[in-house]
């Protein structure tokens, strides 16, 4: 029977991180499941957790009046959802919706921030991980902004 | 059977055109299918009943009589040279006329021209096909050729990025390839509404997770040049040697036969030295702005 | 270096040469004065040649000057090259008409204003002879030949005349294309004005030998030979410009981002004059002439220039939008990429681009400027990259 610690240490997001540090997060974490179509969180709500996706796909979308829901990004198994929990004012920026059945480990944000304050090595390691993922996501987002498949750029 | 491809040093030299390469040959439109709001796929047959053998990656100069001609990659099955297939996107005067054809119309064809993908160079190893937007069209013959000889290749992956779900090309065929031919198909779109259950993101994001052995992989990439640059980086970052990554470069072509000088990318004449190039031959040139 | 087997004939002999060529069925072309410039034209008698005319050429400037003698070839380079004669600015490639079955298209033929081939060109300079060889390579000796160029070029009889009066823009010596041709001609003449007005002539082919045999000639004396050598030596000593071509291909490839390109771009008007007068430029575009009913169409090939804004147009925009990038394209192609594409330089040192440039841009100066302060060699990412 796998413990939550086992699930976290096996997750790609924590690959290469000292197992001892990862298991420190066990007390902050719990297993969660979402049904197809269920919202994980909504824009504006209190950003109170980091979601480590184990199975399934999550869509980040935003409601645009006149256009309905627009999906800005999808996150798959092996990745994580949620940054707003460590940037004040700690509120969610987008909606997150389960595109399939989703299994994840939910890490409580307050607990996580306290752990990082108490153990700077854990804090620094986590920030490195987060920075790398955000870096790649930002690059990808900027490439999408180019709208390269659009035929007419008015040139 | 991998059709009629003699592999050149890096990319496949293709079939040579029959007849005068400067005179258009009449081809009748047999069928037209609307793929997206601005893209159609048409099947053509030579009025004289002949074939047009080609290698995957080659193109023809497709003429709308009285309007003009443009280079269009062949998107058909190389094992069926009697059915010339083109996927055309409406981006200007000539392509608008081409997208408006109906069965029975006659178009002019010159070609085939250019160096193709050289699919045979991938036998015995994995193949990664990365397509962006209409870039899937010139890659389709390569995939078809690989699948016709599936056992001689290892893992075959198709990574495809489109603007939105409604602009995904050949959707049914992608499913058949995934289901029945052992192709790992991953599709992502730039933007979507909630009815789309697939990935939303840019195609470069699919490269890190794709399953292939970089030491024995042939990568074929086609799409907007920006996309190809970043995809090429992602592929070489994963360890594929640059000479095993092939791009289909697009430049302004007026003659298709290396005489008019328009399609130059520094020392390369894209219509005769390409349009398919190994990455190590064009990487520096593509990195210079406005070269 | 004295040549053996040369003969000498006088001015009347030159007229005889024109007559012999005419009788042999050639349309004879040569330099003529038109619109205050020396330009290629139809030549039937020596009276059609620019007797007594010389030229003064500097960057951005061309004018004729009256010589103090009757030299028939006393100018440097024709204001426009022989390119227009063999590779006209407009050429009908094919014409077609709609039919019940679709359409029919047939290869076209557009006659030249200079008359029908075969042509005999009398008075072509060594630089232009080299340019012709370059065009032969580009237009005839690769995958798909330009059939109409080939037809005009076929059987052309070439009479080259050694340059005696180089201009301020000439640099054929640097490009190793002159002032005297050593091959690629049927007859080579040197015009001598010391004492009797005469021509020293050498044959460069069997046809040249046959034609010479029909003229009244005498064997050249030692004096003739040394006078001819003197012409060559004086011309070499009076080159208007020079260009150091050492490693020029790698130099220009490596300096694609050199600040000099910004400098020349601030002067270049992108007018394209250089490409029009350059004897090796060959870029063309396509013009579709369709009847109002849409039933007939003509597919014309027309000269184009890499300086035009839509030269590199792809849907969405042009690749080379800035004048900087277009000047860089032209000069790099001409002096560097040409080697990779065709095995020679694209430049023959005729200097016409300097003369024709309204702001007097001098490519010899541009090359020297880049060579003086080259960018540091880029770090090579990995072996085997082009």
ipTM: 0.91
Kindly tell me if the per-residue pLDDT of C198 is higher than 70: yes
Question: Are C314 and B252 an interchain contact pair (Cβ–Cβ within 8 Å)?
Answer: yes
Which domains, and CATH codes, for chain B? Answer: 25-113 (2.40.30.10), 119-286 (3.40.50.80)
pTM (2 d.p.): 0.90
Nearest to C344 by CA among C354, C334, C331, C330: C334
What's the longest Cα–Cα distance across chain C? Answer: 74
pLDDT tens digits, one per residue of C244-266 = 999 999 999 999 999 999 999 99
Q: Name the strand (E) or helix (H) holding B231.
A: helix B225-237
Is C318 at the interface with chain A, CB within 8 A? yes
Residues of B in CB contact (< 8 Å) with A are 38, 89-91, 132-134, 161-163, 167, 188, 190-194, 196-202, 204-205, 209, 223-224, 226-227, 230
Under an 8 A CB cutoff, do B22 and C107 touch?
Answer: yes
Question: Residue C361: CB partners within 8 Å, gap ≥ 6?
Answer: C59, C264, C267, C268, C274, C353, C354
Lowest mean pLDDT among A96-100, C5-9, C112-116, C345-349: C112-116
Q: Work out the angle between the directed axes of helices A109-118 and A120-145 (0-180°, nearest 10).
A: 120
Contact C93, C51 (CB under 8 A): no
A148 touches C: beta carbon within 8 Å: no
* Eight-state DSSP code of residue C333: I
C355, C58 in Cβ contact below 8 A?
yes
Integer Cα distance of B154 and A132 in angstroms? 32
- Per-residue confidence (pLDDT) for residue C160, from 0 to 100: 98
Shortest distance, CA A56 to any CA of chain B (angstroms)? 11
Contact list, A140 vs chain B (CB under 8 Å):
201-202, 204-205
For chain A, the average pLDDT equals 90
The C-alpha atoms of residue B137 and residue B140 are separated, in whole angstroms, by 5
Beta-carbon separation of A73 and B200 below 8 A: yes
- Over residues B226-280, the pLDDT tens digits come to 999 999 999 999 999 999 999 999 999 999 999 999 999 999 999 999 999 999 9
CA distance B248 to chain C (A): 15
For helices B279-286 and B225-237, angle between their N-to-C axes, nearest 10 degrees: 120
- A152 sits in the region (left: phi over 0; alpha: psi -120 to 50; else beta) called beta
| Contact (CB<8Å) B260/C341 | no
Tens of pLDDT along C9-44? 999 999 999 999 999 999 999 999 999 999 999 999
Of the candidates C304, C287, C241, C273, which has an alpha carbon nearest to the alpha carbon of residue C87? Answer: C304
Question: pLDDT confidence of B135, banded at 50, 70, 90?
Answer: very high
Interface contact flag, A153 C317, Cβ < 8 Å? yes
**B264: nearest CB among C98, C304, C333:** C333
CB pairs A-B closer than 8 Å: 73
In the stretch 107-126 of chain C, residues with CB closer than 8 A to chain B read 107
Testing the interface with B: which of C142, C258, C311, C315 to mutate, by most B Cβ within 10 A?
Answer: C315
Nearest to C384 among B22, B243, B252 (CB): B243
pLDDT above 90 (res A86): no
B positions 55-114 inside 8 Å of C (CB): 65-69, 91-92, 95, 106, 108
């Amino acid at each position: 029977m796998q413990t939550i610690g086992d699930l976290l240490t096996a997750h790609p997001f924590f690959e290469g991180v000292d197992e001892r540090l990862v298991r420190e997060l066990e007390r902050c974490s719990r297993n969660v499941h979402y049904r197809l179509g269920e919202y994980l969180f909504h824009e504006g709500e209190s950003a109170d957790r980091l979601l480590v996706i184990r199975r399934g796909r999550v869509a980040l979308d935003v409601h645009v009046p006149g256009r309905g829901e627009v999906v800005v990004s999808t996150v798959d198994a092996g990745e994580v959802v949620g940054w707003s929990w460590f940037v004040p004012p700690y509120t969610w920026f987008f909606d997150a919706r389960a595109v399939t059945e989703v299994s994840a480990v939910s890490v409580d944000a307050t607990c996580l921030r306290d752990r990082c304050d108490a153990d700077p090595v854990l804090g620094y390691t986590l920030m490195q991980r987060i920075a790398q993922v955000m870096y790649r996501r930002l690059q990808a987002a900027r490439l999408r902004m180019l709208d390269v498949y659009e035929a007419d750029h008015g040139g | 059977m991998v059709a009629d491809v003699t592999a050149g040093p890096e990319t496949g030299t293709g079939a040579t055109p029959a007849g005068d390469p400067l005179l258009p040959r009449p081809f009748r439109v047999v069928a037209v299918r609307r793929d997206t709001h601005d893209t159609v796929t048409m099947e053509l047959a030579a009025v004289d009943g002949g074939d047009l053998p080609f290698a995957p990656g080659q193109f023809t100069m497709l003429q709308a009589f009285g309007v003009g001609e443009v280079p269009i990659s062949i998107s058909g099955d190389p094992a069926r040279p009697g059915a010339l297939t083109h996927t055309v996107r409406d981006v200007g005067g000539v392509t608008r006329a081409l997208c408006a054809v109906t069965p029975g119309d006659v178009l002019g064809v010159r070609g085939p021209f250019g160096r193709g993908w050289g699919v045979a160079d991938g036998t015995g190893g994995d193949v990664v096909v990365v397509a962006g937007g209409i870039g899937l069209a010139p890659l389709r013959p390569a995939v078809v050729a690989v699948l016709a000889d599936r056992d001689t290749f290892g893992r075959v992956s198709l990574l495809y990025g489109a603007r939105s779900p409604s602009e995904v090309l050949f959707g049914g065929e992608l499913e058949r390839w995934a289901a029945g031919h052992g192709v790992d198909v991953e599709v992502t779109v730039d933007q979507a509404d909630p009815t789309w259950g697939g990935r939303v993101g840019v195609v470069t994001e699919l490269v890190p997770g794709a399953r292939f052995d970089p030491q024995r992989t042939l990568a074929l990439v086609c799409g907007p040049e920006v996309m190809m640059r970043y995809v090429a980086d992602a592929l070489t970052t994963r360890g594929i040697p640059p000479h095993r990554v092939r791009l289909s470069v697009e430049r302004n072509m007026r003659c298709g036969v290396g005489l008019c000088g328009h399609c130059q990318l520094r020392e390369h004449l894209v219509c005769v030295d390409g349009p398919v190039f190994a990455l190590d031959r064009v990487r520096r040139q593509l990195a210079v702005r406005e070269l | 270096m004295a040549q053996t087997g040369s003969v000498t004939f006088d001015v009347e002999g030159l007229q005889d040469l024109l007559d012999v060529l005419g009788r042999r069925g050639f349309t004879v072309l040569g330099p003529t004065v038109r619109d205050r410039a020396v330009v290629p034209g139809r030549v039937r008698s020596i009276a059609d040649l620019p007797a007594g005319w010389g030229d003064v050429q500097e960057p951005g400037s061309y004018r004729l000057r009256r010589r103090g003698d009757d030299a028939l070839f006393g100018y440097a380079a024709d204001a426009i090259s022989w390119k227009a004669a063999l590779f006209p600015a407009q050429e009908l490639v094919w014409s077609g008409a709609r039919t019940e079955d679709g359409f029919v298209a047939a290869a076209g033929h557009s006659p030249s204003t200079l008359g029908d081939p075969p042509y005999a060109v009398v008075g072509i300079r060594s630089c232009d002879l080299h340019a012709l060889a370059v065009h032969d390579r580009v237009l005839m000796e690769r995958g798909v030949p330009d059939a109409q160029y080939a037809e005009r070029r076929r059987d052309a009889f070439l009479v080259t005349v050694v340059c005696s009066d180089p201009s301020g823009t000439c640099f054929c010596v640097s490009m190793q294309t002159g002032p005297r041709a050593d091959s690629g001609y049927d007859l080579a003449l040197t015009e001598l004005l010391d004492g009797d007005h005469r021509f020293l002539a050498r044959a460069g082919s069997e046809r040249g030998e046959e034609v010479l045999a029909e003229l009244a000639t005498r064997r050249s004396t030692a004096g003739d030979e040394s006078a001819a050598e003197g012409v060559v030596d004086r011309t070499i000593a009076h080159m208007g410009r020079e260009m150091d071509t050492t490693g020029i291909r790698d130099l220009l490839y490596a300096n694609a981002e050199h600040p000099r390109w910004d400098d020349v771009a601030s002067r270049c008007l992108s007018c394209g004059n250089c490409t029009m007068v350059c004897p090796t430029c060959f870029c063309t575009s396509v013009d579709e002439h369709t009847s109002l009913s849409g039933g007939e169409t003509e597919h014309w090939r027309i000269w184009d220039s890499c300086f035009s804004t839509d030269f590199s147009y792809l849907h969405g925009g042009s690749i080379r939008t800035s004048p900087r990038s277009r000047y860089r394209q032209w000069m790099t192609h001409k002096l560097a990429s040409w080697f990779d594409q065709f095995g020679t330089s694209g430049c023959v040192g005729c200097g016409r681009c300097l003369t024709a440039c309204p702001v007097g841009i001098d490519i010899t100066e541009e090359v020297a400027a880049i060579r003086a302060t080259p960018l540091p060699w880029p770090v090579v990412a990995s072996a085997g990259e082009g």
